[in-house]
Amino acid sequence: MDEITGILSVKIARVGTKSEGPDYYIKPLDDYANRWSEILVWKKTHLWENDPGLHKFIDKKVLILGEIIETKSTITVEYEFVEVLD
């Protein structure tokens, strides 16, 4: 399992559609910050729903454990565990 540390944020995506809802991103504060300004965190709910496992951590420094999927042009995190850091 991979880990990433950063600030969790949310953006409303797919505006004006039936699937309009939040997308979660982490602004990395570790080695990933050298390559990526923000990383999409896959949520475990429908596109239009808040993810209760992520939503309570918005604007907080967190540690995310999960699978990081990185290609030349994209990166995403399929999270298993999220924890607030001080």
pLDDT tens-digit series, residues 34-75: 999 999 999 999 999 999 999 999 999 999 999 999 999 999
Number of domains, the chain: 1
Closest CA to 11 of 39, 33, 53: 39
Which residues are paired to 83 by β-bridges? Answer: 63
Give the C-alpha separation, 85 to 83, whole Å. 6
The pLDDT score that the predictor gives to residue 45 is: 96
Give the C-alpha separation, 68 to 10, whole Å. 18
- Residue 76: CATH number of its domain: 2.40.50
Amino acid at 69: I
Closest CA to 29 of 60, 4, 11: 4
Q: Is the pLDDT of residue 86 over 90?
A: no
Mean pLDDT score of the chain, rounded to an integer? 96
pLDDT tens-digit series, residues 3-30: 999 999 999 999 999 999 999 999 999 9
Q: Are 79 and 19 in contact (CB under 8 A)?
A: no
**Range of 34's domain?**
2-84
